[in-house]
Amino acid sequence: MLDIKSLRQRPEAVAEVLERRGFVFDLRAFQVLEQERKRLQSETETLQSERNKVSKTIGKAKEQGEDISTLVGEIGDLGDRLEIAKNALDEVQERAHDFLLRVPNIPDPSVPDGAAEEENVEIRAWGTQPTFDFNPEDHVTLGGAMLDLAAAARMTGSRFAVLRGPLARLQRALTQFMLDIHTNEHGYEEIYVPYMVNRQSLEATGQLPKFEEDLFSVGGDADYFLIPTAEVPVTNMVGDQILDQERLPLKMVSHTPCFRSEAGSYGRDTRGIIRQHQFEKVELVQVVEPESSWKALEELTSHAEAVLRKLELPYRVVSLCGGDLGFAAAKTYDLEVWLPSQGAYREISSCSNFLDFQARRAKARFRRRAKERPELVHTLNGSGLAVGRTLVAILENYQGIDGEVTIPEALIPYVDGTETLEQLA
């Protein structure tokens, strides 16, 4: 959520900068709400002052033995009017809060201009794209019977998958490999979290109210949703907290399934497991002091890159343009891995700095010294990595002419020394 005080001081400037991300800030609606809030706040303060004056007058009249019946009636009337004004002010403030929940974060000045992903800017590329003396197959063909999409369709529906035998084993190895890198080499604390969260947690990280159609609601009396990413529960670990400065930075990693309806993406990536309703990620979250968040973004991005480098998968890093930024992000780097069957790079991780946008919603703060006023932390997150898409990239980049898939050298210790996927059977 944006800082309401800054927004009140320069609404036109905020509206202008939000245009960089293709968002039309309803300046007129905001100004109307502000005018109504100011009027009701002034009325409330005036009535409260008048009520206090009459209350003091009643006290003096009592001391002097004077008749106070008229004053009692007057203070009763003032009390009723004050209650009405307070309720009206609360209602306007609630409307203003709901209005702000739908306003995205301000893009950092370093974010490239552009309206769509075609205008994202490549920052760097790593690795050599493999060359084949045959037509490379896609991951569905290479997975064969190990990738049982038909079984998943029978038991659940489209955009789900069953992994069998060697493929399931390889996914498990990948997950453990990623967690070991981030905990042992990058200093993250592993966190196990619930796979369901409440509405407040999703509001805190920016998924609600704007993206409710993208979520799976559990239904029933409890207002629970399946998590779209571990970012939600892990970031909320610091919600409604005041941390000691000495605890920062916090670096947390969590492996979870993720559940998304993929609303608006129908017709895209319908073949295979690139875009699923249920998939797995190893998610990185950092909570830092404000002055450290831009350095932390570069560090977190490098941690996600390290996984791809160890697996020797060619990739590139792109800076998302304003029109392609996620709702809560001030700046995002996407890591895109090379997929030979498509002859293109595809997203495998997004690493974002949210500044204090999520922290303001979540009331996540820290205190530099005792008795000092608490400050909002800055939050960041990124996938390190999306496990399913990493599996896809390995199948396609490590394929041989006969469809045999070599296991990356870094993963061999995680599969008891086995060197090919077929040998895992």
Q: What share of the chain is helix, strand, coil (3-state, %, to 5)?
A: 45, 20, 35
Burial of 157 (0-12, 13-18, 19+ CB in 10 A): exposed
Among the options 20, 159, 169, 389, which is catalytic?
389
Among the options 21, 159, 260, 360, which is catalytic?
260
- 389 given a catalytic annotation: yes
* Dist CA 388 CA 397 (whole Å): 14
* Dist CA 46 CA 91 (whole Å): 19
> Structure tokens of 217?
């609601």
- 316 given a catalytic annotation: no
Residues in the chain: 425
Total Cβ atoms within 10 A of residue 212: 14
Rg (CA), the chain: 27
Three-class SS of residue 361? helix
**In terms of DSSP bridges, do strands 364-367 and 241-244 run parallel, antiparallel, or are they unpaired?**
parallel
Helices (H), 181-265: 199-205, 231-235
- 347 given a catalytic annotation: yes
Q: Is residue 278 a contact partner of residue 387, using CB atoms and an 8 Å limit?
A: no
Planar angle of CA 383, 302, 363, nearest 5 degrees:
55
Among the options 275, 360, 361, 365, which is catalytic?
275
Which is it for the CA torsion 407, 409, 410, 416, positive or negative? positive
Which is it for the CA torsion 324, 326, 330, 332, positive or negative? negative
Among the options 43, 212, 347, 419, which is catalytic?
347
* Dist CA 313 CA 130 (whole Å): 9
* Dist CA 233 CA 212 (whole Å): 17
Among the options 254, 293, 350, 352, which is catalytic?
350
Q: Scan for tokens 């045999």, then name that residue.
A: 404
> Please, what is the angle between helix 11-18 and helix 27-63, to 10°?
150
* Dist CA 88 CA 34 (whole Å): 13
Task: List the catalytic residues.
Answer: 260, 275, 347, 350, 389
